[in-house]
Amino acid sequence: MKNSFEKIFNLNTTEKTVREEALEIIIVSDNHSEKNGLVKVLAHHTSADYFLHCGDSNLEADLDLMRPFITVRGNTDFWQDYPNDEKIKLATGEQIWMTHGHRFSVNGGTDKLLMKAKKMSRIPAIILYGHTHKVDVNMQEDILIINPGSIALPRDGYRCTYARLRITPGCYEVQILDISDHVPIKEFQFPRSHDHERQVPL
């Protein structure tokens, strides 16, 4: 299993060249020390281009299981050495901003996340967050926002979930998947803006 994790990890860098027709991103959050869900995700999605973790893993960064993931710090990651957020430039041109969300009061909505994003020198095309343990997929002000729910402790009436994002030339395709069988619970499609290099107006 270690070798397969390392193979996946070697595919995941913050900027790389991938096939043009589609880019696949797997997004998880809030496993709170539970490992089995992460193992299942890595084993099922061996062709994914990125594995992203929105925080509260409660697992050490140097653990073999965590090496494939680009991960941010959650509010319960007290001793884990992860950054508060990550900006990930994709080969498709988009930039992802990933943060756990607790510093932006996401239990009350995503307004503060959007405000922060719009003040960045490069406005992200995609925002990823966790913390609420509730699925959230929507497009606001041309920014795609995704919360994959919790892979271990859901609070929104769903089963344990994670998200799969496919970026095609024309659209964003988002699936919310059940960790038990990887079957989609919800599916979304949004038009893809080709303005990937948006800057804050002067």
The dihedral sign for the CA sequence 34, 54, 76, 68? positive
Task: Extract the tokens encoding 115.
Answer: 């405000």
pLDDT, residue 80, reads 87
pLDDT band at 24 (very low <50, low <70, confident <90, very high): very high
- Contact at 8 Å (CB) between 146 and 126? yes
**pLDDT tens-digit profile of 105-161?**
999 999 999 999 999 999 999 999 999 999 999 999 999 999 999 999 999 787 999
Task: Extract the tokens encoding 119.
Answer: 């003040």
Closest by CA to 53, choosing from 89, 87, 100, 18, is: 100
Domain 2-191 fold is Purple Acid Phosphatase; chain A, domain 2 (3.60.21)
Which range among 46-50, 57-61, 71-75, 193-197 shows the weakest confidence by mean pLDDT?
Answer: 193-197
Entry pTM: 0.88
- Write down the residue that tokens 């041309």 correspond to: 142
Task: Extract the tokens encoding 158.
Answer: 């769903």
Decide: helix, strand or coil at residue 92.
Answer: coil
